[in-house]
Amino acid sequence: MSESTNNNNASPPANNNASDKSNEAGKRKQQTKYKGGNTIDVEPIAGTRDFLPNEMREREWLFSKFHETSKLFGFEPYDAPILEMEDLYKRKGGEEIVQQMYNFKEKSDLNVALRPEMTPSLARLILKNRKILTLPLKWYSIPQCWRYETTTRGRKREHYQWNCDIWGVPEVTAECELFSAIIHLFKLVGLTSEKVTLRFSSRKIIEDLLKVEFGLQLSEDKFKETCIIVDKMDKMEAEDVKKILIEKVPEISEEVALKLIKLMNFKKLNPNKDYSGSKALIAFKEMLTNEEFKNGPVFKEIEEIFTLIGKNGYDIEDWIEFDPSIVRGLSYYTGVVFEAFATIEGLSRAICGGGRYDKILGTYGSKEQIPACGFGFGDCVILEILRELNLIPSYITSQKVDDFVIPFDTSFRPTAAKIVTYLRQKGRTADIYMKNPKKVGASFEYADKIGATRAIFVAPSEWNDGEKVRVKMLREKEDSSTKEVTIKYTEL
C-alpha cells in the first residue's frame, strides 16, 4: 500500500500534480516577497488551488456526480460555516487531523479553525436542531476542508470532500447504504471493481481482540490511541509499530503487540491467497481462539453486511473485502470502519473512508447519544485516478455556447443585442461580440474560443430584407449544403 493509504477521510490528500509545484514556488516567493512591495505574487497561498474555467468545469462535473448520487439515494443537502470554534475539533488521542488543524486566534480573541472535517459541524447542527429533526436522517454536503502543515512539500492544504452521513440507524443496514452510494458513484464515473476495492472491518474487532483474546482492560482513551497507532501500521515497520504501541499503551506487552500486528496484517502476510467475498473473514476467524468472540455479535454484524451486499441484495460484493487492518485514524469511530482504495499499479491510494461513530454526541456533552455513520470522499485522489484512466470526458472541460451573434458595425449593435436576447429567452446559450465589429478575424477567434455552434451575422443587406440574418454552422463540414443559411431572426 502506498503512503497515502492511511489518509483519513478528512485530510486533504497528497498532491502529485504539476500545478502544485508552482504553489510551492509561490510559497517561497510569498515568504520573501510579501513585505508590502509593489508587485503582487500571482500564486495562490501555498497548498491552495485556483480553478480556471477548464479546471472548474472538471470540478463541477465531479460535484454533479456527487449531487446526483446523493439525491438518488435520498440524502438531503446541508452546509455549515467553513470557520468553527477550535474546541469543536479538540480531542484526545494524537490524531493527525487535530495536530494539523488550520487554527488561529481571531480579533476578538476567539480560538477558531478552518474546518479540518465536516463531521463535528454535522454533530453540532444535529445537537442544535435536535427537537425539530426526525430520525433517521440521511444528509450530505461537499465542504471544503483545510489543514495546516509547516512542511507542505507536495501536500495540499485544502480539498473538497463529499460527505454522506446517516443518523439514527443502529444497524449495519446504514453502512450498506453508504457502501452502495460509494459504489454507485464509482460506476457513474466509469470505474470497475478491478480498479477499486472497498475494504472494511469493525473497531469492535480490535476492541474484542484486546479484551477477549488478549484479556486486556483498556480505558477508552487508551483504546482510541491503540487504534490510531494501528492505523499507521502501513506507513511504518512492524518493529516500530510494536515499540510505539508498548510505549504509548503500557498495558500492551511485546507479545500481545506482535500477535496484534500479525492478526491485523494477515492478508498482507499471505499476498497470494484469494480473500475475496467472505473468504478473508473465514480465514481471520480461524486464527482466533476464543469461541465466544468468534460466534459473538461483532462477527454477526460483519456476516449481515455480506448478506446485504450479496447477489440477492445490493449486489456489490465484487467491490468489497473484509480487512481487519482497516481501523481508521479518527478517534470517534466505534463500529464498522471502511476505506475505498484504488488498486491500480502506481495509484494504490485511499479514495474515501468512513465509519460508525455512535458516541459523538456524548463527547460534545449531550446526554442523548444517536447512532451514526458516514464517509468523506475527497476531490483530489478520485480526479487523479480518473485522469490517469482517461475517464473524464474531454468535452466537459471546454466551453460550449449554442449561438454567437456578430453585428456588422456599431450601428447594428442594438439589433445584435435584440437577437441575442431573443435566443436566450428561447433557452439557447448565446453570446454577442462586444468589441469593434470591424475586426472579423478577432470575432472568429472568439467564436472558436467559446465553442459556438452557430455564428449569426447581423448585417444591413439581410436585415433590411425582412429582418433576416446570415447563419454559419461552425461545426459542419465546409462542403455541407446547410453550412450557411439566411433566415428571419425569429426562425433562429
The count of residues in the chain is 492
> Measured between alpha carbons, how far is 307 from 337 in angstroms, rounded to an integer?
18
> Measured between alpha carbons, how far is 192 from 189 in angstroms, rounded to an integer?
9
Would the annotation count 349 as a binding residue? no
For the chain, the straight-line distance linking the first and the last C-alpha, in angstroms and rounded, comes to 58
Considering only residues 110-129, where is the footprint of a second copy by CB under 8 A? 110-112, 114, 121, 124-125, 127-129
Considering only residues 183-202, where is the footprint of a second copy by CB under 8 A? 184
Q: What is the largest CA-CA distance in the chain?
A: 95
What are the strands, taking DSSP E only, across 124-223? 137-141, 144-146, 158-167, 196-202
Residue among 275 and 463 whose Cβ is closer to a second copy:
463
- Decide if residue 482 touches a second copy (CB under 8 A): no
Residue among 52 and 282 whose Cβ is closer to a second copy:
52
Residue among 252 and 330 whose Cβ is closer to a second copy:
330
CB of 429 to a second copy, least distance (A): 5
Considering only residues 233-292, where is the footprint of a second copy by CB under 8 A? none
CB of 337 to a second copy, least distance (A): 19
CB of 352 to a second copy, least distance (A): 19
Using an 8 Å Cβ cutoff, are 336 and 201 in contact?
yes
- Decide if residue 102 touches a second copy (CB under 8 A): yes
Considering only residues 445-474, where is the footprint of a second copy by CB under 8 A? 445-446, 449-450
- Decide if residue 395 touches a second copy (CB under 8 A): no
- Decide if residue 88 touches a second copy (CB under 8 A): yes
Residue among 210 and 370 whose Cβ is closer to a second copy:
370
Residue with C-alpha cell 459542419? Answer: 476
Phi, psi of 11 (to 5 degrees): -80, 130
CB of 92 to a second copy, least distance (A): 13
- Decide if residue 16 touches a second copy (CB under 8 A): no
Show the DSSP H helices in 355-412 as ranges. 360-363, 379-388
Residue among 129 and 490 whose Cβ is closer to a second copy:
129
Would the annotation count 119 as a binding residue? yes
- Decide if residue 97 touches a second copy (CB under 8 A): no
Considering only residues 40-69, where is the footprint of a second copy by CB under 8 A? 40-45, 48-53, 56-57, 59-60
Distances (CA, A) of 486 to 112, 400, 421, 456, 472: 63, 23, 19, 9, 9
Would the annotation count 20 as a binding residue? no
Instruction: Select from 83-91, 203-211, 346-354, 463-471 the region that touches a second copy (CB under 8 A).
Output: 83-91
Distances (CA, A) of 234 to 50, 80, 265, 305: 33, 34, 9, 25
Instruction: Select from 39-47, 259-267, 282-290, 325-333 the region that touches a second copy (CB under 8 A).
Output: 39-47
- Decide if residue 375 touches a second copy (CB under 8 A): no
- Decide if residue 99 touches a second copy (CB under 8 A): no
Q: Could you tell me which residues come within 8 angstroms of residue 238 by beta carbon, excluding any fewer than 6 positions away?
A: 261, 265
Would the annotation count 333 as a binding residue? yes
Residue among 273 and 449 whose Cβ is closer to a second copy:
449
Phi, psi of 4 (to 5 degrees): -90, 0
49 beta partners: none
Distances (CA, A) of 312 to 34, 73, 109, 180, 308: 62, 19, 57, 14, 8
CB of 1 to a second copy, least distance (A): 30
What are the strands, taking DSSP E only, across 281-425? 320-322, 336-342, 350-356, 372-378, 401-407
What is the CB neighbour count within 10 angstroms for residue 124?
A: 16
260 beta partners: none
- Decide if residue 489 touches a second copy (CB under 8 A): no
> Measured between alpha carbons, how far is 15 from 149 in angstroms, rounded to an integer?
14
Considering only residues 397-416, where is the footprint of a second copy by CB under 8 A? 399, 401, 413-415
Considering only residues 141-160, where is the footprint of a second copy by CB under 8 A? 144, 148, 150, 158
Collapse the DSSP code of 103 into the 3-class scheme (helix H, G, I; strand E, B; otherwise coil) and give the result.
Answer: strand
Residue among 73 and 258 whose Cβ is closer to a second copy:
73
Collapse the DSSP code of 431 into the 3-class scheme (helix H, G, I; strand E, B; otherwise coil) and give the result.
Answer: strand
**Out of 215, 365, 441, 466, which residue is the one contacting a second copy (CB under 8 A)?**
365
- Annotated binding-site ranges: 117-119, 147, 161, 165, 328, 332-333
- Annotated binding-site ranges for L-histidine: 117-119, 147, 161, 165, 328, 332-333
